[in-house]
């Protein structure tokens, strides 16, 4: 994967010169220094250090160039999902220059070759304001509901609702294949999808249900005893509702 870190400090300097003034000269300078350290580490193939420096640079200054380089480092580390999200951010940013965009498109193709896709769908008003994390890492809101590149293997997808209740699903992602995790409204009887008690464990529910079944049996027996003409041929059994 060598060669994707081809955007040098010069390109960052050019990008910084067109940055929004409100981000502050001090923050831009810190980002520049951290970016240079990341480039140096990448040249030494020290991808852990490179990723760390690019992450710190992004904390000071959010720029497509830094995102691209961090994505490259993540891909080298096998962190395909994170790399894919960053490349998607670069490509969606209208301020991304053509050179960076071309490199990002090429990197996206290499990510796709190694990845499967994982779509996380969140439905229902009860999930408004919820966040989604994969293996403990929160994914950007704009990446929810769309196919994302993800590392092949088993992943834990966690939905955290605004009331702090959670629900988890385990998903297996296969290289070159799509996978999906879908979250609906909170489960009846337990909002965390597994920690709360189900209505089916409630003794009151079973007492009521048992009584309804017994009553249905008595009615059927009585109808049968009264003669074949007393019960119509389209008899529908009772439906228990809760």
Domain boundaries defined on the chain? 1-114, 115-196, 202-242
> Within the chain, which residues score under 70 in pLDDT?
1-23, 187-242
Q: What are phi and psi of 10, to 5 degrees?
A: -60, -45
Distance CA 12, CA 197 (A): 55
Measured in degrees and rounded to the nearest 5, phi and psi for residue 203 equal -60, -30
So what CATH class is 1-114?
Answer: mainly alpha
Q: Can you name the residues that pair with 150 across neighbouring β-strands?
A: 116
Any residues with CB less than 8 A from the CB of 6 and at least 6 apart, and which? Answer: 103
Check residue 142 and give its pLDDT.
Answer: 92
* Angle, in degrees to the nearest 10, between helices 64-76 and 9-17: 150
What would the pLDDT profile of 203-219 be if each residue is shown by its tens digit? 555 555 555 544 444 44
Q: 115-196 belongs to which CATH class?
A: mainly beta
CA dihedral 26, 29, 30, 33 (to 10 degrees): -170
Lookup result for tokens 């929810």:
144
Closest CA to 73 of 34, 19, 15: 34
Overall pTM surpassing 0.85 (yes/no):
no
């Amino acid at each position: 994967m060598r060669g994707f870190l081809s955007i040098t400090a010069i390109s960052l300097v050019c990008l910084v010169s067109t940055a929004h003034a409100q981000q502050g000269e001090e923050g831009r300078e810190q980002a520049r220094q951290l970016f240079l350290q990341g480039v140096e580490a990448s040249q030494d193939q020290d991808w852990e250090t490179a990723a760390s420096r690019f992450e710190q640079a992004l904390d000071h200054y959010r720029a497509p160039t830094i995102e691209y380089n961090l994505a490259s480092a993540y891909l080298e580390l096998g962190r395909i999902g994170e790399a894919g999200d960053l490349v998607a951010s670069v490509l969606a940013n209208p301020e991304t220059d053509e050179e960076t965009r071309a490199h990002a498109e090429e990197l996206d193709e290499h990510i796709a070759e190694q990845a499967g896709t994982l779509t996380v769908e969140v439905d229902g008003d009860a999930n408004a304001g919820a966040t989604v994390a994969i293996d403990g890492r929160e994914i950007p809101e704009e990446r929810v509901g769309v196919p994302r590149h993800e590392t092949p293997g088993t992943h834990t997808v966690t939905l955290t609702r605004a009331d702090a209740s959670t629900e988890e699903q385990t998903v297996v992602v296969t290289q070159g294949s799509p996978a999906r995790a879908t979250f609906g409204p909170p489960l009846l009887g337990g909002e965390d999808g597994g920690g709360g008690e189900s209505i089916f464990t409630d003794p009151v529910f079973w007492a009521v249900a048992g009584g309804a079944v017994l009553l249905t049996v008595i009615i059927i027996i009585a109808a049968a005893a009264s003669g074949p003409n007393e019960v119509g041929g389209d008899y529908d059994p009772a439906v228990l509702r809760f």
